[in-house]
Amino acid sequence: MTSGAANTASRHARFHWLNDVWPWLCAASVALSLLMLGALLALLLTRGLGHFWPAALEEVTLRSGETLAGEAVRDVALPQQPGNERLYFTGNQDIAGVRWRWVAVEEIAERSQPNDLIRLERSPWGDFIGRLVAIEQNGQRWEGDAAWQRLNTLLALPASQRPESQLLLATVNGQTLRQPLASVVSAEAPNAMNVWQKTVAWSDAVWRFLSEGPRAANTDGGVWPAIFGTVLMVILMSVIVTPFGVLAAIYLNEIAHQGKLTRLVRIGVRNLAGVPSIVYGVFGLGVFVYGIGGSLDEWFFNDTLPSPTFGTGGLLWASLTLALLTLPVVIVATEEGLARIPEAQREGAVALGATRLEMLTRIVLPMAAPAMLTGVILAVARAAGEVAPLMLVGVAKLAPQMPIDSEFPYLHLDRKFMHLGYHLFDTAFHGEDVQAAIPLVYATALLLVLIVLMLNLTAIFLRHYLRRQRGSEC
């Protein structure tokens, strides 16, 4: 065998080896990606949804004789010394001044889980952990099991129908407290509950998290205003960005002369997709809020100045800013879909007597509809998780008024709104109680992922339907 033939055979052997290994490397990358995604979802599910499960309450007696009650959260090793330290959530902030307590495990003399320990969720002051001594209402008094049954009966009524009552409570170390029933949100005795009762209580807690507003500086209560604001902003953004992105793509691919200028425009559009989102926020603040919004105030709301109406952040400016941010994504995806349509389809339509407008609207655009929806899907996925630009153009930590109500014009585009991404950021870094905020951070993150997934699946199903109807590819 000659030297050249030997080298050729050696190269072929190397390429053959690469061809055998390459599919396995691709499969391993996909498996690793799915594993990391599964680990993320498992973490969010266990930490987020597990927070609402009624955890057992412990009554702890220390070697010093002190008694406390609370939920055991976690154990950590003591620094530079043997032994562990246990974190308890003890509640009762209005009595003890703190809601958390670190206890050295070696100092615990006795632990128990009495069935009469209860946990009340209150507004304000957070949770109370202790015992229910009695309920007093209109001169009547219930004690013991009768008091607990009466409390559950009253809490089952709507808040407007609950009679004025006083709860007589006691901590495990003997301190007493009178608590108005009107400030009690929920009550549970987790040590006395079976699995079914805990499941019902867990479902109720999850529903209240989804349907109520936040309390206690976003470390308690629900996230309904943030859910509503996120979905509404994404829908408005999609309605704004889709026609502009589609029209821009049609012009670049179907109408504009394919010269140097068009190529430069395409390069600029693709580069805009990589611009940091905070830059769009600064642009939205300067152009939309101060520029256009300030002008609208001078023209139509001069009587309300210097208090701005549209010259401050709001739902409209946030939607426009995110529409501008996601516009390159929609343009690129739509133009790629238009480029994949065979030229014979256009020529055949024109040959049959269709005008150029009819060819675009009846042949090209329906075939490119799945690609347009692909662009919208990518835009929704990016916009729903963006936080930085929203901090400049309209998002609020707490919005007292919803953007939609029964007052004309019903949809108030000038109002500030809450967003799950910003709520997540604020809860994690600006809360007064970091320990209490951690479970809510996981729960909110899981909810944000599920909402993005729901919005994307809606567009994916619609795209799949259009594919089947038209038999096109995107």
Please give the share of the chain, as a percent, with pLDDT higher than 90: 31
In this structure, the chain runs to a length of 474
**For the chain, how are helix, strand and coil distributed in percent, rounded to 5?**
60, 15, 25
* Three-state SS at 220: strand
pLDDT in tens, 340-399: 888 888 888 888 888 888 888 888 888 888 888 888 888 888 888 888 898 889 888 888
**Contacts of range 359-363, beta carbons closer than 8 Å, 24 or more positions apart:** 360/250, 360/254
What is the spatial distance between Cα 62 and Cα 64, in angstroms, rounded to a whole number?
Answer: 5
Q: Which of 324, 328, 229 is nearest to 286 (CA)?
A: 324
23 or 172, higher pLDDT: 172
CA separation, residue 221 to residues 185, 192, 213, 258 (Å): 10, 24, 6, 57
CA distance 65 to 84: 20
Angle between helix axes 434-470 and 224-250 (nearest 10 degrees) is 40
Residues 438-448 have pLDDT tens digits of 888 899 899 98
- Find the range with the poorest average confidence among 66-80, 381-395, 456-470: 456-470
pLDDT confidence of residue 27: 85
Residue 295 has a CB neighbour count (10 Å cut-off) of: 12
Q: Is the pLDDT of residue 280 over 60?
A: yes
Quick one: average pLDDT of 165-176?
91
| Residue 191 binned pLDDT confidence (cut-offs 50, 70, 90) | very high
Residue 474 confidence (pLDDT): 41
What is the distance between the alpha carbons of residues 11 and 255, in angstroms, rounded to a whole number? 48
Q: Which pLDDT value is given to residue 87? A: 92
Nearest Cα to Cα of residue 338 among 318, 363, 313, 355? 363
Measured CA distances, 418 to 135, 238, 389, 390, 393 (Å): 38, 18, 14, 10, 12
Question: At residue 185, does pLDDT exceed 60?
Answer: yes
Buried b (16+ CB within 10 A) or exposed e, 417-435: bbbbbbbbbbbbeebebee
The DSSP bridge pattern shows strands 126-137 and 118-122 to be antiparallel
Closest residue by Cα to residue 137 from 107, 172, 160, 165: 165
Q: What is the pLDDT of residues 194-219, one digit of tens each?
A: 999 999 999 999 998 998 888 766 67
pLDDT at 409: 80
Model confidence band, residue 471 (pLDDT cutoffs 50, 70, 90): low
C-alpha 19/C-alpha 245 separation (Å) is 40
Cβ-based neighbour number of residue 110 at 10 Å: 10
Helix (H) or strand (E) holding 33: helix 3-44
The answer, yes or no, to whether residue 5 has pLDDT greater than 60, is no
Q: How far apart are CA 43 and CA 39, in angstroms?
A: 6
Query: Are the C-beta atoms of residues 128 and 119 closer than 8 Å to each other?
Result: yes
Q: Which residues pair with 58 in a beta bridge?
A: 70
pLDDT digits (tens, 9 = 90+) for 116-161: 999 999 888 889 999 999 999 888 899 988 999 999 999 888 877 7
Q: Is the pLDDT of residue 184 over 60?
A: yes
Q: Rounded CA gap, 219 and 124, in Å?
A: 12
What pLDDT is recorded for position 473?
A: 44
pLDDT band at 12 (very low <50, low <70, confident <90, very high): low
Residues 6+ apart with CB under 8 A from 329: 245, 273, 375, 378, 379, 382
pLDDT band at 319 (very low <50, low <70, confident <90, very high): very high
Q: Quick one: which of 74, 90, 160 has its CA closest to 128?
A: 90
Strand (E) or helix (H) holding 184: strand 184-188
Average pLDDT, stretch 275-293? 91
Q: pTM (2 decimals)?
A: 0.84
First to last CA, the chain: 51
CA distances for 311 relative to 21, 184, 197, 296, 320, angstroms: 60, 40, 52, 8, 14
pLDDT of residue 328: 92
Per-residue confidence (pLDDT) for residue 9, from 0 to 100: 53
One-letter amino acid identity for 347?
E
pLDDT digits (tens, 9 = 90+) for 244-257: 999 999 998 888 88
Place of tokens 């500030």: 416
Backbone phi, psi, residue 59, to 5°: -105, 120
Does the pLDDT at position 275 exceed 50?
A: yes
pLDDT of 3 higher than 60: no
Give the lowest-confidence range in 70-74, 392-396, 457-461.
457-461
Using DSSP's 3-state secondary structure scheme, residue 406 falls into coil
